[in-house]
């Protein structure tokens, strides 16, 4: 079967669909989701952004990309300071570490799908701060 179908079969067998687990896990499998959209629409119609790059580049630079992609004039963001940030507890750091390992193959597939800018993105960003 195609990779998408294989994943669906795997998830049906190994992730209980009657719980929130299915949605929580599959929500982070972006390549699987984007492939479906890319089959139906031209790739250049999409602008895919990462929270990691937003944190690295800042809101202003990120929004410039959004305005440009939409063909809109640049609008200056006056206050682009981080909001709703916090530090993780030790237990939460363990969960983040587990989630990074769990999603690593999915993130690799996403990088393959989206190109060089995404290659190794999650290895370069080790911050566990939440925006």
Q: Which residues of the chain have pLDDT under 70?
A: 1-5, 7-8, 11-24, 88, 122-131
CA–CA gap between residue 113 and residue 115 (Å, rounded): 6
- For residue 101, the model assigns a pLDDT of 85
pLDDT of residue 11: 63
Looking at residue 71, what is its pLDDT?
A: 96
Residues near 16 by Cβ (< 8 Å), separated by ≥ 6? 22
- The pLDDT value recorded for residue 24 is 67
DSSP 8-41: HHHHHHHS-TTSTHHHHHHTT-HHHHHHHHHHHS
pLDDT at 61: 92
Query: What pLDDT is stored for residue 52 in this prediction?
Result: 84
- Judge if pTM exceeds 0.75: no
Where in the chain are the domains? 1-42
């Amino acid at each position: 079967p195609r990779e998408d179908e294989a994943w669906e079969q795997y998830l049906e067998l190994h992730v209980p669909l009657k719980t929130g687990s299915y949605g929580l896990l599959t929500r982070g499998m972006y390549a699987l989701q984007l492939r479906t959209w890319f089959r139906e629409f031209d790739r250049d119609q999409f602008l895919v952004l990462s929270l990691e790059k937003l944190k690295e580049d800042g809101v202003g630079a990120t929004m410039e990309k959004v305005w440009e992609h939409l063909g809109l004039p640049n609008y200056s963001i006056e206050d682009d300071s981080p909001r709703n940030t916090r530090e993780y507890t030790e237990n939460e750091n363990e969960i983040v570490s587990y989630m990074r390992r769990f999603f690593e193959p999915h993130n690799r597939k996403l990088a393959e799908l989206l190109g060089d800018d995404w290659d190794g993105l999650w290895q370069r960003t080790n911050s566990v701060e939440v925006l």
